[in-house]
Amino acid sequence: MRTMDCLFLSIFSLAISAMADPGKVVDNPAVPKGKVTLLQLEEDLRFGPDSGNDHYLWSGAFVAVTADQSGNIYVTDPGESRILAFDKNGNLLRVVADKGPGPGQFQTLVNFQITDKGALAYDRWMSTINRYDRSFAYLDRTATKTGPSERVFIRFRPDAAQYVATNLEIDPPMGKMGIRTVVYSDESERLELSRHMMPMGQPDMSSDKGISSFLGSWYGLNEDVAVYNYDAKGNLYSAYTNKYEVTKRNQKLETMLTIRKQYKPHLRVSEQATQLAEALLDTAPLPPEVLSDLSTEIFVGAVEGAGTNTEPAIYAIIPMAGGQLLVVTDMDLNSGEQMADLFDEQGVLVGRLKHPNFGLVGKPALVGGCAVRMSFISGYAYTVETREDENQVVRYRVSIR
CATH code of the domain containing 52: 2.120.10.30
Report yes or no on 187 lying in a domain. yes
pLDDT at 202: 65
pLDDT digits (tens, 9 = 90+) for 114-173: 999 999 999 988 899 999 999 999 999 999 876 666 888 899 999 999 999 988 887 767
Q: How confident is the model at residue 4 (pLDDT cuts 50, 70, 90)?
A: very low
State the pLDDT at residue 400: 94
- Is residue 26 domain-resident? yes
- Domain membership flag for residue 13: no
- The string of pLDDT tens digits covering residues 9-19 is 333 343 444 44
The predicted pLDDT at position 52 comes to 78
26 versus 291: which is more confidently predicted? 26
In a domain, 7, yes or no: no
| Mean per-residue pLDDT, 49-70 | 92
Instruction: Say whether pLDDT at 245 is over 50.
Output: yes
- In this structure, is residue 11 part of a structural domain? no
- Containing domain of residue 72, as a range? 22-400
Q: Which of 85, 113, 89 is nearest to 98 (CA)?
A: 85
Q: How large a percentage of the chain has pLDDT more than 90? A: 58
**pLDDT band at residue 222 using 50, 70 and 90 as cut-offs:** low
- 27 in a domain, yes or no? yes
In this prediction the pTM is 0.88
Residue at 323: amino acid letter: G
- If one counts the domains in the chain, the total is 1
What pLDDT score does 9 carry? 39
| pLDDT for the residue numbered 273 | 78
**pLDDT for the residue 95:** 96
CA dist 91 and 85 (Å) reads 9
Whether 329 maps to a domain, the answer reads yes
Q: What does the pLDDT average to over 267-274?
A: 78
| Cα Dmax for the chain | 75
Residue 12 domain-assigned?
no
